[in-house]
Structure 1
Amino acid sequence: MFKNRYRVVVAILLFLAGILNYLDRAALSVMAPFVKKDLVLNDAQMGLLFSAFFIGYCVFCFLGGIAADKFGPRKVFASAASVWSVFCGATAVVTSFSQLLFVRVLFGMGEGPMGTTNNKSISNWFPKKEVGRAVGFTNAGQPLGAAIAAPIVGLVGLYYGWRIAFVIIGLLGLVWVVAWLFLFRDKPEDHPSVSQEERDLIVENRPASIATTDDGVEQVQTSIWTYIFSGPVLGIASAFFCFNYIQFFFLSWLPSYLVDYQNLDIKSMSIIGMLPWLGATVGFLGGGIICDFIFKKSNNFLFSRKVIIFVGLVIAAIAVFATAFAQSMWMAVGCITVATIFAYMTPQACWSLLQDIVPANKIGSAGGFVHLLANLAGILSPALTGFIIQYGGGYHTAFILASAFAFVGIIALLILVKSKKPAEPVGA
């Protein structure tokens, strides 16, 4: 079935990892009404708990990327998934705010390498013409995980208790680790099940670029910082940060918004809360397909990615802003769903564009740094939203602020990502 297409197996493994990754991290937001009541927490404390995850996460985005370059994605992903699964399960035994805060930081450390190791795996396993679809498909598992978190985690928590839900999710992660170690190798050259034909196709058409001078001579790059501080890479990181502000705003606070502001019960929230994440899944898949289609027609890799990021963030910004003024629950959910469809077209464009700018031997480290900067939004967005809800202008103000961040990302994209010249640091 997979003759000359073993990379499909790799894509499925990464897709399933994305489902589990976001099922894990969405679980606390879905269980928030139960956890708040059981541990006697307020909205500001919940915001800090959501953000605590990203303290460990951001640091290990960068360290995980460096490790993926040094040790390979197979070992790094297996280690990371094992750690995050154990500490997701450990959530079930906490009895206080401080304990949960500690577990969330360690949980975030485990999940940190996921994005960059995923990108490193795709860089190693897919030819350039398939990168957009590969990133789109594999990352589509993430919002799908958030979508199924609402009914699965919500209903398990409702009938068996919120602690049991975290144990079950942790066990699922450990099952995936076994499959990953059995089926995956760092490169197709290392895997006995990959045909010579497929191996040649991938090796001869890998996406990561090699920096050259104007006359086409390969440049000798001695430091990863040359790439990290270039205008295009910082522009991608800025756009990614602003997308993440919206993503983590919804991932952390959407269930509470539906229960506390729109007055839904847990059962109704578990079903209706799926819709924006199903929309996000469509956005991930559609964005990757459209990226590759535009590249095929224009033969301009930079343009094909940049236009998707621009359109995605513009429409997402408008839809998030409209949510603040929605007159009904269905209107609000409709606006949020439109926002997620278009917002989630942008991350795969960011990842695949980065692969075209940074050489293969540095894609893990550079991607890790971009992911670190982008996921600082995970520290800012949930905590700031919690304080706004608790002490400021409520959800109305929170939606307007999230919309503003999307426009900031658009401006950064237009100013900084003008070419793919990684050897030109900002200000040079």
Structure 2
Amino acid sequence: MPAPPESRRRAWGLTSLLVFLTVINWGDKAVLGIIAQPLSKELGLTASQIGLVGSLFFLTFTIGGFFSGAIARITTLRWALAVLALLWSAAMLPMVITASFAVLVVSRMLLGLAEGPSGPLTHTAAFSWHPPAKRGLPGALLAGSASLAKIAVAPALAFVTVTWGWRAAVVCMAVLGVLWCVLWLPLWSQGPYIRSGKRREEAGAGAAETDEPAVPWIRIFRTRTFISCTMLVMAIYAIVAVVLTWLPSYFEVGLGYSRLQAGSMFAFPSIAGLILMLILSSSGDRLTSRGATSRLIRIIVPSVGVLVSGMIMVFLPYVSAPALAVAIVSVGYGFLASGYPLIIATISEICPPRQTAGTLGVFMAMMGIGGLIGPYVTGRIVDAADTPAAGYATAFQAFGLVAVLFAFGTLIFANPERDKEIVWKATSRT
């Protein structure tokens, strides 16, 4: 029976609020890439040091992701996300007061720790308002927040940085986090499709269903779908982290564009990714509702997209024209990012509803390992290369090849229908 119109309006209204939060989240990630060059000049940092800062962020981001399930069990989504957003706002402010390499490292690591649980919790909150067959589009909107941040927030941050300095860009992101909390706290309520957290004010009698999980976690984590998708998303996220940390520097130092141009062009790959993401996810939801298999829509389609992306990036070191290099990175990133929400929807499908936050927490924490590796390795490659342009292109080529390898693995091993049946049979026996 279809949900009443007012329920669907509320579902999409609250999903939009979660998208806004995720835009802020990705803006906090992207700000390092925007301010990397002026920050390096002020503090005398090398490319390897900036890369190390980017990787240490993803180290604590990965650690924080493992706490998602525990947070979902001990508190409500309303307060969990509000506290996390306030922590993001506070984490980078010490850099405004006392700028040094040590303060930068500590601030970014604290930011990563606070952001780690947010992805699984925002997806759990959004999915609570959407049934499993309809989660592709809301998942795409949340994943597309990275693109929205780079399309809208990154150029604005570049303008602020050029006009008022990098400290002003950091303060702007802190203010956005506080403003979101003002909107979130009075408006949020949890939807009917996922029960999560203590839900004192949000569920009442349903709270009993949020006790211990009905199936051992290891049964979910050892499925071939979970393992192969984890490897693939790690490769995807390594490239995403490289883009976040290094793309403006690649455009500025490697290709010769101005700082404002580089910050504005940061949006180009994200525009391509957002368009493909929304088309694939909305079409996938419709086809899934009409009987198409999850393996076709949520495994084969995104894996082929990653294959296309990796193969495009392999040719980047052989391109000398700056405009063509920008086009290759943009199209390659677009195909790469477009499959991410479909893979997330697949993982939420194979686990019991009450274990969604914990499963996504582990999945996204493992994903963060790619982010841990990507920025630092890129910094080392750039420092060792003959020119910055050659170093950045070689890094994109290397990570593209890794993505191709893991995409083939997912095509061979992942089958959500099969693994959902395995997990849910265990649930019925428990």
Answer whether contact 1:243 1:406 (CA < 8 A) is retained: yes
Distance 1:81 1:308 in 2: 33
Q: Distance in 2 between matches of 1:189 and 1:256?
A: 43
Question: Which residue of 2 is the match for residue 364 of structure 1?
Answer: 357
Q: Residue in 1 aligned with 2:69?
A: 65
Question: 1:2, CA displacement in angstroms?
Answer: 6.8
Measure how far apart 1:93 and its partner are.
2.5
- Name the counterpart of 1:181: 185
> Take 2:66 and 2:99, find their aligned partners in 1: how far apart are those partners?
31
| Alignment equivalent of 1:330, drawn from 312, 323, 328 | 323
Per-residue deviation, 1:264:
1.0
Q: Any idea what the Cα deviations from partners look like across 1:194-222, whole Å, max 9, x if unmatched?
A: xxxxx9xxx9xxxxxxxxxxxxxxxx944
Q: Does 1:22 align with 2:26?
A: yes
Compared CA separation, residues 265 and 2, structure 1 to 2 (3 A): farther
Match of 1:299 in 2: 292
Residue identity in the other structure for 1:361: R
Query: Structure 1 residue 259 and structure 2 residue 263: aligned?
Result: no
Residue 369 of structure 2 corresponds to residue 376 of structure 1: yes
CA distance, structure 2, for counterparts of residue 2 and residue 161 of structure 1: 47
What is aligned with 2:238?
245
1:88 aligns with 2:92: yes
Match of 2:414 in 1: 417
Going from structure 1 to structure 2, the CA distance change for 1:242 and 1:19 (only over 3 Å counts) comes to same
The equivalent position to 1:10 in structure 2, one of 7, 14, 18, is 14
Residue in 1 aligned with 2:226?
A: 233
Equivalent-residue separation in structure 2 for 1:424 and 1:189 (angstroms): 21
Q: Distance in 2 between matches of 1:9 and 1:175?
A: 17
CA contact (8 A) 1:57 1:108 kept: yes
Partner of 1:408: 405
Aligned to 2:347: 354
Work out whether residues 349 and 420 of structure 2, in 8 Å CA contact, stay in contact via their aligned partners in 1.
no
Aligned partner of 2:101 among 90, 97, 100: 97
Deviation at 1:128, TM superposition (A): 2.6
Q: Indicate the residue corresponding to 2:60 in structure 1.
A: 56
Match of 1:134 among 126, 138, 141: 138
Q: 1:344 aligns with which of 313, 337, 361?
A: 337
Question: Counterparts of 2:69 and 2:193 in 1: how far apart (Å)?
Answer: 21
Distance 1:114 1:7 in 2: 19
Corresponding residue for 2:151?
147
Partner Cα separation in structure 2 for residue 237 and residue 17 of structure 1: 24
Q: CA deviation at 1:188?
A: 4.7
- Considering only aligned residues, what root-mean-square deviation do their CA atoms show, in Å? 2.4
Q: Percent identity?
A: 22
Query: Structure 1 segments of 4 or more deviating over 4 A?
Result: 422-425
Given that 1:72 and 1:186 are in contact with CA atoms closer than 8 Å, whether structure 2 keeps it comes out as no
- The answer as to whether partners of 2:238 and 2:399 remain within 8 angstroms in 1 is yes
List per-residue Cα deviations over 1:175-195 (Å, max 9, x = no partner). 1012111111233599xxxxx
Tell me if structure 1 keeps the 8 A contact 2:140–2:281. Answer: yes
Q: What secondary structure, in the 3-state scheme, does the structure 2 residue paired with 1:241 have?
A: helix
Is 1:396 the counterpart of 2:393? The answer is yes
Contiguous gaps of at least 5 residues in structure 1: 191-198, 204-219
Match of 1:46 in 2: 50
Amino acid at match of 1:410: A
Q: Distance in 1 between matches of 2:375 and 2:63?
A: 18
Q: 2:352 & 2:182 partners in 1: Cα distance? A: 30
Quick one: distance in 1 between partners of 2:50 and 2:304?
33
Q: Secondary structure at the match of 1:25?
A: helix
TM-score, with structure 2 as normaliser: 0.87
Name 2:209's counterpart in structure 1: none
| Secondary structure at 1:411 match in 2 | helix
Residues 1:153 and 1:128: Cα distance change in structure 2 (over 3 Å): same
Q: Distance in 2 between matches of 1:135 and 1:74?
A: 19
What CA distance in whole angstroms lies between the structure 1 residues aligned with 2:327 and 2:278?
A: 19
Partner of 1:125: 129
Q: Contact 2:309–2:333 (CA<8 Å) still a contact in 1? A: yes
| Worse-matched range after superposition: 267-276 or 401-410 | 267-276
1:271 pairs with one of 264, 267, 270: 264
TM-score (norm 1): 0.88
1:114 aligns with 2:130: no
**Equivalent residue of 1:102, what SS?**
helix
My pick for the range that moved more, 81-90 or 363-372, is 81-90
Give the residue type in structure 2 aligned to 1:228.
F
1:168 has 2:172 as partner: yes
- 1:288 aligned to 281, 286, 295, which one? 281
Seen in structure 2, the aligned counterparts of structure 1 residues 222 and 353 have a Cα distance that, compared at 3 Å, is closer
Q: Distance in 2 between matches of 1:385 and 1:136?
A: 28
Determine if contact 1:89/1:171 at 8 Å carries over to the other structure. no
Residue in 1 that maps onto 2:200 = none
Distance 2:379 2:177 in 1: 29
Instruction: Summarize the Cα distance change of 1:66–1:347 in structure 2 as closer, same or farther, 3 Å threshold.
Output: farther
Question: Contact 1:88 / 1:169 at 8 angstroms: preserved in 2?
Answer: no
Shift of 1:83: 0.8
1:314 partnered with 2:284: no
* CA distance in 2: counterparts of 1:336 and 1:65, whole angstroms: 35
Is contact 2:59-2:368 (8 Å) kept? Answer: no
Contact 1:121 / 1:186 at 8 angstroms: preserved in 2? Answer: yes
Tell me, in whole angstroms, the C-alpha distance in 1 between the residues paired with 2:378 and 2:144. Answer: 26
